[in-house]
Amino acid sequence: MTVPPIAIERLGSPSFRARYGLAAAYMCGAMYKGVASVALVERAGRAGLLACFGSGGLPAERVEAAAAQLASSLGRDHPWGLNLLCNVTRPEREDRVVDICLRHCVPVVEAAAFMSITPALARLRARTLVAAADGGVGRTLRIIAKLSRPEVAEAFLAPAPTALLERLRLAGAITADQAALAARVPMADDMVVEADSAGHTDRGVAQVLVPVIVAQRDRLALPGEPVHIGVGGGIGTPAAAVAALMLGADFIVTGSINQCTVESGASEAVKDMLMVMRVQDTGYAPAGDMFELGARVQVLRRGVLFPNRAEQLFELWQRHASLEEIAPAVRARLEADVFRKPLADVWTEAREHLRRSDPATCERAEREPKARMAAVFKWYFGLSTRVAMAGDTARRVDFQIHTGPALGACNQWLMGSGLEDWRQRHVDGLAFRLLTSTARLLAERLDLYRPDAIASAVASATHATA
């Protein structure tokens, strides 16, 4: 018997598709430093898919240029968005991105790495709300929160804190009417539950997290528009997408698989490495931007030494109070193999950078030997990202490449398809291939549970054992 196909429009939530004007309930998540590039967002948007530009780690000028180009090329005729990263230590950076979003009428913001509602995010929410003719609350900008913790989901399912809105009103950042509207709607229009993913990760397990947060959404839902739940992290094959939908996903979110496409902002050298990786080729390393906190990122470990070298630097920082305490032989190896220059020269470069970008941290590093050691070690993390983005093959072993095993699974799934080479992969083509295969697989799985199919299987088993 031929299994009737399922249309990709039936995957996920119809209201999610309608809300953003999408061809499918599918989203390409942001990837830092423009790896989710303008070209990627444009290609996805013109195909009716939502993608968000990866603004994290970029200077405000580049984010502004990207927003301006996307507003011009896609406007309100096609779906697109911009990433907003939480920045607790440098909140002014959040504010700059919010200002860019407001200036260029960005339609969607993917809010990531937030542990609580910040003033900048609350200002964005309030400034983009309008009173609707029917008495409801309209939005000129949608916020999709990416999170991996139930307590963070709870904060986004609620309105912005009243005290925070009042502070913003008194400061003149929002009006009284905007504060009143913001008190009536949740902080997020929709949410992405992020399981173990590329880059910064809590190593969450989708099978555990998604049902909890779906139930939380249902319990805490405010009157008005529904909050849709997306699932990301680990989705690189049709089977993974089916699993996400069965867990309750209203839409699916891909990340790692998109960095190995023509439109990705990753360098060609990085894409060449990524297209041959397998599911076992990732590992965890200290995060350079949260070095002292011990945060971790998931990275490629096949063909590079970055994870091991990063771990060594973190262990040295934990054990020693200053650079001077490090054994001479160890220091010599660091200078020869890792930094490729004297640590004194590294400190000079790090100090000059910090004086321009973060004077407070610079002053602390000049005053405290332990902080100075952290600044020197973090220089390597910055270098490892820069050489990877530039495709500097002379330092290939130092490439820091954020990726997850979903890409390895995708590579294996695509074997024999003609898409083994990333040069044949376009972000929209990959998405629709994944969606079509997901729909086919879901139809096959559901067919197994038809009453007549179950009865036939039982009869066959009984006959075989008779």
The total number of structural domains that make up the chain? 2
Do 68 and 97 touch, CB atoms closer than 8 A?
no
**451: its two tokens:** 């009453």
Query: What does the alpha-carbon distance between residue 59 and residue 439 come to, in Å, rounded to a whole number?
Result: 40
As a whole number, mean pLDDT of residues 34-57 equals: 96
One domain, residues 313 and 230: no
| 199 pLDDT tier (thresholds 50, 70, 90) | low
Where does a domain end: 386, 405, 424?
A: 405
Query: What was the pLDDT predicted at 358?
Result: 86
Q: What is the mean pLDDT of residues 187-213?
A: 86
Say whether both 251 and 200 belong to one domain: yes
Strand 26-28 with 199-200, pairing: unpaired
- pLDDT tens track for 331-353: 999 999 999 999 999 999 999 99
Task: Please report whether residue 274 resides in a domain.
Answer: no
Cα-Cα-Cα-Cα dihedral sign, residues 400, 268, 45, 59: positive
Q: Tell me, what CATH number does 180's domain have?
A: 3.20.20.70
Domain termination site, one of 405, 434, 450: 405
- Asked if the structure places residue 426 within a domain, the reply is no
**What is the distance, to the nearest Å, from the Cα of residue 345 to the centroid of all Cα atoms in its chain?**
34
Residue 94 near residue 125 (C-beta atoms within 8 A): no
43 and 119 fall within a common domain: yes
The DSSP secondary structure of 95-145, one letter per residue, reads HHHHHHHHHTT-SEEEEES-SS--HHHHHHHHHTEEE-TTSSEEESSEEEE
- Residues 344, 256, single domain; the answer is no
Question: What is the extent of the structural domain holding 65?
Answer: 11-266
DSSP for 139-172 reads ESSEEEEEE--HHHHHHHHSPPPHHHHHHHHHTT
Specify the pTM: 0.91
Residues 185 and 111 in one domain: yes
Q: Could you tell me if 62 and 186 lie in one domain?
A: yes
219 within a domain of the structure (yes/no): yes
pLDDT tens sequence across 99-110: 999 999 999 999
The answer to whether position 348 is within a domain reads yes
Q: Are residues 303 and 373 in the same domain?
A: yes
Instruction: Please tell me whether residues 237 and 361 are part of one structural domain.
Output: no
Residue 93 included in any domain? yes
Nearest to 198 by CA among 400, 404, 31: 404
Are 435 and 26 contacting, i.e. CB atoms less than 8 angstroms apart? yes
State the pLDDT confidence band at 163, using cuts at 50, 70 and 90. Answer: very high
**Same domain? 244 vs 337:** no
Say if residue 225 is in the same domain as residue 344: no
Q: Is 3 part of any domain? A: no
- Establish if 415 belongs to a structural domain: no
- Tell which of 355, 382, 405 closes a domain: 405
Burial code (b: 16+ CB inside 10 Å, e: under 16) for 339-363 equals beeebeebbeebbeebeeeeeebbe
Q: Is residue 344 part of a domain?
A: yes
Q: How far apart are CA 407 and CA 278, in angstroms?
A: 7
Question: Does residue 351 share a domain with residue 215?
Answer: no
Rounded Cα distance between 265 and 145, Å, is 23
Please write the tens of the pLDDT for every residue from 414-453: 999 999 999 999 999 999 999 999 999 999 988 866 666 5
Q: Could you tell me the CA-to-CA distances from 428 to 8, 40, 207 in Å, in that order?
A: 14, 9, 27
Pair (32, 65) in one structural domain: yes
